Structure 1
Amino acid sequence: MLIGPFVNGSAVVIGGAIGAFLGTRLPERLRTALPQTFGLASMGLGVVLIVKVKFLPAVILALILGAVLGELCCLEAAIGRVGAGARNIVDKFFPPREGLSQEEFVLKFVAILVMFCASGTGIFGAMHEGMTGDASILYVKTILDLFTAAIFATSLGYSVATIAIPQLVIQVGLALGAAMILPLTTPDMMNDFSSVGGMIMLATGLRICGIKVFPVANMLPALFLVMPFSHYWSILF
C-alpha cells in the first residue's frame, strides 16, 4: 500500500494553508530570507545529483532536445495558465494576496511547482517506495515540503496548496510504474536520469533566488528522454 505520496501531499496542503493564513504575520526577514535558503538547498541538491553523470553527451543532448520540445509545446506557459487559473479559483473562496502581480505570481508558482513535483528526491523516493515499500525518502521530503510550502504561501496564498494535486498524481504514477520501469534500467541510466534532474534542480534554485529566470518547466521533457539516450549512447559509443 502506498503511503509516502499521500503523506507528502498532505504536508503541502497543510503547509500551504498555514503559510497563507499567517501571511504578513510572519516577520519580513523570514519571508525574505527563507526562500533564498530553499533556493540554495535546491542548487546544492542539484549539484549532488549532477556529479552522478555517466554519459555527459547523452545528458546534454536530452536536456537540449527536452528544452526544445518544452518550448515548442509552450509547456511553461501552459503550467503558468493552470497556476493562474488555480489562483483565480482559490481567490473566490479566500482573500486574495495583495502586492503580487500576475506575472510575479506565475514566475514563482511555476518554480515551486517544479521544485515540489519534479525534484530528484520526490521522483526517486516515489520509485523507491513502489519497488521496496519503503517510504522513508518521501518522509524526508515531506518535512522539507511542509516548511517550504508554508513560506511560499505567505506571498502566493492558498494557491500553493493546490500543488499537492499534480504532485500526488506524479508520485503515485511513478510508484505504480516503478515495478515495470526499474527492471529495464541500468545503474548508468539511473545516474544520467539523476543528473538531468540535478540540472533542472540547479536551474530551479537559481530562479527561486532571483539570479536567473530559467524556463525550468520547459526542461522537464528531458527527464523522459535521458534514459533511452543514455542506453543507446552506451551501445553505440
Structure 2
Amino acid sequence: MRGTIVNAVAIVIGGSLGILLGNRLAERFKKIAMQGLSLAVLLLGFKMALGTENPVYIIFALLVGGLIGEGINIEKKLKQLGGWFESLLSGQGQIAEGFVQCSLIYCVGAMAIMGAIQDGLQQDPSTLYAKSLLDGFSAVAFASTLGVGVILSAIPVFIYQGLISLLAAQVRVVLTSAVIAEMTAVGGLLIFAIGMNLLEITEIKVGNLLPSIVVVVFFVHLF
C-alpha cells in the first residue's frame, strides 16, 4: 500500500498548502481560480467518458445506479459526514462541499483502480506515485477555495485504494480491461457533473449516481 499512503499524504500536504495560500488571496482571485479548475474538471471528465466501448452500458448503469443511490440517498449521507467534520472543526470553510467533491474526483478513474491493483499484486506503486503528484497539485488549488474538506478527502482515497490493493488478487478477475474502460467512462461522466456543479450551472446529485460505477461492472459481465 505504499502508493496509496503516498497518495493520501500528497493530498494532505497539497491541501494544507492550498489553505495557507488561500488565506492570502482576495475573493476575486479565488473565484477565477475555481472557475479555471472547474473547466479543467469538465475536460477531464469528458475525455474519460469518451473511452466507453458501448454507450448502452453507460446509459443503463446511470439509470439503475441512480435509482439505487437515490433510494439509499448517498449524497445526503456524504454531506452529513462532511457536516460532522465541519462541526468538529468549528465550521472552517466549505468542508462538506470540499470533502464530497474532491473525494469523488480523486477516487474515480483508471489510475486509482489500476494503480491500486498494480501496487497490491506487483508491489509497484509507480502509477499511484504519478497520481499522487496530480492529486497533490490539484489539492493546492482546490483547498485554496474549498478549504479543509479537501484535506479530509484523503481518508476515502486511503480506504478505497487501500482495499483494492489488499484485495488485488480477487478483484483482478472481475476488473478486466473492458470493465475498467466502462467504469472509467461512467466515472468520467460523474466528474463532468462535478465540474457543472462547481461552476454552479446545475446541481446534480453526483453522490447518488455513485452506484452506477458498480452497476456497469455487472452489465459488462452479463452481456
TM-score, normalised by the number of residues in structure 2: 0.88
Equivalent residue number for residue 11 of structure 2: 12
CA distance in 2, matches of 1:215, 1:124: 26
Q: Answer yes or no: is the 8 Å Cα contact 1:47–1:199 preserved in 2.
A: yes
Structure 2 alignment gaps of length 5 or more: none
CA distance in 1, matches of 2:29, 2:114: 30
Aligned-residue Cα RMSD (Å) equals 2.2
Amino acid at match of 1:207: N
Pair 1:129 & 2:128 matched:
no
Equivalent residue number for residue 65 of structure 2: 66
Give the match's secondary structure for 1:25.
coil
Amino acid at match of 2:79: G
Q: Answer yes or no: is the 8 Å Cα contact 1:9–1:168 preserved in 2.
A: yes
CA distance in 2, matches of 1:51, 1:154: 30
Are residues 171 and 13 of structure 1, via their aligned partners in 2, closer, same or farther at CA, if it must alter by over 3 Å?
Answer: same
| Per-residue Cα deviation, 1:165-204 (whole angstroms, up to 9, x for no partner) | 1110111011222221122444322222221111112112
Equivalent residue number for residue 174 of structure 1: 164
| Per-residue Cα deviation, 1:67-105 (whole angstroms, up to 9, x for no partner) | 11111111001000100111111238xxx34xx6xxxx5
Equivalent residue number for residue 79 of structure 1: 78
CA distance in 1, matches of 2:118, 2:176: 15
Give the match's secondary structure for 2:52.
coil
Equivalent residue number for residue 147 of structure 1: 137
| Per-residue Cα deviation, 1:110-142 (whole angstroms, up to 9, x for no partner) | 222211233443233223322333322222222
Equivalent residue number for residue 198 of structure 1: 188
CA distance in 1, matches of 2:51, 2:76: 31
CA distance in 2, matches of 1:128, 1:34: 34
TM-score, normalised by the number of residues in structure 1: 0.83
Structure 1 alignment gaps of length 5 or more: none
Q: Report deviation, 1:143.
A: 1.8
CA distance in 2, matches of 1:81, 1:53: 33
Q: Report deviation, 1:40.
A: 2.4
CA distance in 1, matches of 2:46, 2:89: 35
Q: Report deviation, 1:7.
A: 0.7
Count of paired positions: 223
Equivalent residue number for residue 31 of structure 1: 30
CA distance in 2, matches of 1:184, 1:112: 26
| Per-residue Cα deviation, 1:29-50 (whole angstroms, up to 9, x for no partner) | 5422333333223222222222
Task: Give aligned-pair identity as a percent.
Answer: 31
Amino acid at match of 1:111: Q
Amino acid at match of 1:26: L
CA distance in 1, matches of 2:134, 2:29: 16
